[in-house]
Amino acid sequence: MERKRLDPHGTKKILRFACHCCFLLSIFTSTTRAFDYADALKKSLLYFESQRSGRLPYNQRVTWRDNSGLTDGLEQGVDLVGGYYDAGDHVKFGLPMAFTVTMLSWGVIEYGDQIANAGEFEHALDAIKWGTDYFIKAHTNPNTFWAEVGDGDTDHYCWQRPEDMTTSRQAYKIDENNPGSDLAGETTAAMASAAIVFRRTNPHYSHLLLHHAQQLFEFGNKYRGKYDGSVGVVKSYYASVSGYMDELLWAALWLYKATDNEEYLKYVIDKARSFGGIGWAMTEFSWDVKYAGLQILASKLIMEEKHKAHGYILEQYRSKAEYYICSCLNKNNGSNNADRTPGGLLYIRQWNNMQYVSNAAFLLTIYSDFLQSSNQKINCHHGDTLDHQEILSFALSQADYILGSNPLNMSYLVGYGPKYPTRVHHRGASIVSYRENKGFIGCTQGYDNWYSGSDPNPNVLVGALVGGPDYQDNFMDQRSNYVQTEACTYNTAPLVGVFAKLSQLENQNQNLPSVASY
Ligand SMILES: *[C@@H]1O[C@H](CO)[C@@H](O)[C@H](O)[C@H]1NC(C)=O
Ligand SMILES: *[C@@H]1O[C@H](CO)[C@@H](O)[C@H](O)[C@H]1NC(C)=O
């Protein structure tokens, strides 16, 4: 089933009036149904509370969760209590956790006003701070950073609530002898972007984050190496396939944005070629591969007068950024386009495809804003141009697919709308709440009594974005189908910004009498 798309002639007609309101009208009439993006935004932020490790605060809203992981780091003599579980298990994996925080922070930097208008600003900052508080603890001296607590193999052997965990809580670190430039780089990006977020509301904390970010960058840059070479247990879970050069450039660029220190910009310019920043043309952006995000962030510098001297390199960053955008909209040459399902969903790969979709929706939304504010279009292959409206319309189509505009009429954002996955692959959500039943549930008891049943999960993992449908828009709502039903923190993180932007458009739209009927 094809989604209804913008009729190009209809768009042109509307455009002739060249007014902002007409644009809003054109973008929302292209959807088959209206979604409550403010509700989706609120739910997406709630999800991060379900993933909290450590001692939960008094204002915890997800009440089926309780304290967990309270001895993390004890064996190693460090306090590693806190942070996030990455997905449906209880390992605290540093790289995806840092990427989650970077994307949340970027969302707040771009759409802070819209998030505040929806009444969600405090919740967004809380979600970021739960991660950055942990990164501060894990950075025990300038050249030591704790990379992971728990390990996938041991953890996956059990199906338990986090509150009952009996599995290994061994912690693993990177340091001078065990480098991890990718992990250090991504954590730098997370802390530097969060430093921008907290600059106004909590300047002391912002300073502290910057201090850690700068030290981590120095460490990662000086002692070069992939973190999965140093922390072997991460290899079959979050191996760093793209290496560390993308993260080092990304880290330097976020530090430049946070400090205005030319040294960091110089790094991004000088190493643009040798580190692949202007060499790699990508069709995906993820916790592992940062190039497209880096290229988009770098492109936005072009408009500022003070960056004119670096125009030559920045333009090359932009050319690769636009390759990514064109690929998402299928405007590249032949095989250089991202695939789509028959229902119109971007399709990169089978396992947890939704992460690529939500990341793309975010990058497209940002780039659309950039084109609009700088009054530009982009040129794809064969002189095909794209304007900011087409790009935003496509991002909107992806958000709408996620929320239920798809062949199964299913929302892949858990807890949103009338129909959503009910057997999410998630230990805590699939077992009776600890608050309700404090009796210990053992390692394999969880498999026997909760995992293997066909009942819906007793706890709804509100706001989680699951792995999503296959290349034919099919989805099997089964707990054992982790390829499709597991949710990850970095799936939802980029959606916060996207929903904030769309909820603002929808609000403005509803104020227009002529479109009040839908
Ligand atoms: C891209 O287009 C050019 C002609 O413009 C053609 O020679 C080339 O084979 C195309 N590449 C792919 C991958 O389709
Ligand atoms: C989805 O909704 C449409 C429109 O209401 C309906 O025609 C279609 O049969 C539904 N599909 C499924 C799988 O429920």
The whole-number pLDDT of residue 15 equals 27
Return the percentage of the chain with pLDDT > 90, whole number.
90
Provide the pLDDT for residue 507.
85
* Ligand that comes closest to the CA of residue 384: 1
Atom of ligand 1 nearest to the CA of 335: 13
Give residue-wise pLDDT tens across range 21-64: 445 545 555 444 579 999 999 999 999 999 999 999 999 999 99
- CATH of the structural domain 19-507, one choice from 3.40.50.1220, 1.20.58.340, 1.50.10.10, 3.40.50.10860: 1.50.10.10
Is residue 346 scored above 70 in pLDDT? yes
| Residue in 465, 474, 470 with CA at minimum distance from that of residue 424 | 465
Whether 238 shows a pLDDT value over 80: the answer reads: yes
The ligand with the least distance to the CA atom of 335 is 1
Interacting residues of 62 by C-beta distance below 8 A, sequence separation 6+? 46, 49, 50, 462
Judge whether residue 221 has pLDDT over 50: yes
The predicted model gives 393-401 an average pLDDT of 97
Answer yes or no: is the C-beta of 334 below 6 A from any ligand 1 atom.
yes
pLDDT, position 169:
95
pLDDT digits (tens, 9 = 90+) for 114-160: 999 999 999 999 999 999 999 999 999 999 999 999 999 999 999 99
Q: In terms of C-beta density within 10 A (0-12 exposed, 13-18 middle, 19 or more buried), how is residue 507 classed?
A: middle
Question: Domain segments of the chain: what residues?
Answer: 19-507
Question: Which structure tokens are listed for 188?
Answer: 């730098």
515 confidence band (pLDDT: 50, 70, 90): very low
Is-above-0.75 flag for pTM? yes
Instruction: Give the pLDDT of residue 334.
Output: 82
Q: How crowded is residue 184: how many other Cβ atoms within 10 Å of its Cβ?
A: 34
Q: Is 408 in the pocket of ligand 2 (CB under 6 A)?
A: yes
Q: Which ligand is nearest to the CA of 343?
A: 2
Determine whether the shortest distance from the Cβ of 3 to ligand 2 is under 6 A.
no
Strand 378-379 relative to strand 346-347, pairing: unpaired
Token pair of 473, please?
């828009």
Average pLDDT, the chain: 92
Q: Is 385 left (phi over 0), alpha (psi -120 to 50) or beta?
A: beta
Is the Cβ atom of 335 under 6 angstroms away from ligand 1?
yes
Say if ligand 1 is within 6 A of residue 261 CB: no
Is residue 333 pLDDT above 80, yes or no?
A: yes
Give the integer Cα–Cα distance in Å for 457 and 453. 9
Ligand 1 centre distance from Cα of residue 280 (Å): 18
Distance 469 CA to ligand 1 centre (A): 31
Task: Please check the confidence at residue 462 and state whether its pLDDT lies above 70.
Answer: yes
Closest ligand 2 atom to 409 CA: 1
Is the shortest distance between the CB of 383 and ligand 1 below 6 Å? Answer: no
Q: Residue 487 pairs with which residues in a beta bridge?
A: 466
Residue 163 has pLDDT above 70, yes or no: yes
Which ligand has the minimum distance to the alpha carbon of residue 337?
Answer: 1
For ligand 2, what atom is nearest to the CA of residue 408?
13
Give the tens place of pLDDT for each residue, 358-396. Answer: 999 999 999 999 999 999 999 998 889 999 999 999 999
Q: What are the φ and ψ backbone dihedral angles of 209, each rounded to 5 degrees?
A: -65, -40
Ligand 1, atom 10, residue with closest C-alpha: 333
- pLDDT of 26 reads 54
Predicted confidence (pLDDT) at residue 260 exceeds the cutoff of 60: yes
pLDDT at 17 over 70: no
Distance 299 CA to ligand 1 centre (A): 26
The more confidently predicted of residues 111 and 513 is 111
- What's the CA-to-centroid distance between 68 and ligand 2, angstroms? 42
State in Å: Cα 34 to ligand 2 middle.
Answer: 16
Active site residues: 425
**pLDDT value of residue 49:** 98
Mean pLDDT calculated for residue range 83-112: 98
Query: If you ran DSSP here, which 8-state letter would residue 56 be given?
Result: P
Nearest ligand 1 atom to the CA of 334 is 14
Please choose from 331, 333, 335 the residue to mutate so as to test ligand 1's pocket, defined by most ligand atoms within 8 A of CB.
Answer: 333
Q: CA torsion angle for 258, 259, 261, 265 (degrees, to 10)? A: 0
**Beta carbon of 474 within 6 Å of any ligand 2 atom:** no
In tens, the pLDDT along 404-448 reads 999 999 999 999 999 999 999 999 999 999 999 999 999 999 999
Distance (angstroms) between ligand 2 centre and the Cα of 409 equals 6
Distance CA 21, CA 348 (A): 34
Q: Is 409 in the pocket of ligand 2 (CB under 6 A)?
A: yes
168-196 pLDDT, tens digit per residue, is 999 999 999 999 999 999 999 999 999 99
Would you say the CB of residue 70 lies under 6 angstroms from ligand 2?
A: no
The rounded distance, in Å, linking the Cα atoms of 11 and 124 is 35
Question: Given a cut of 90, is residue 241 above it in pLDDT?
Answer: yes
- Tell me, in angstroms, the distance from the centre of ligand 2 to residue 410's CA: 10
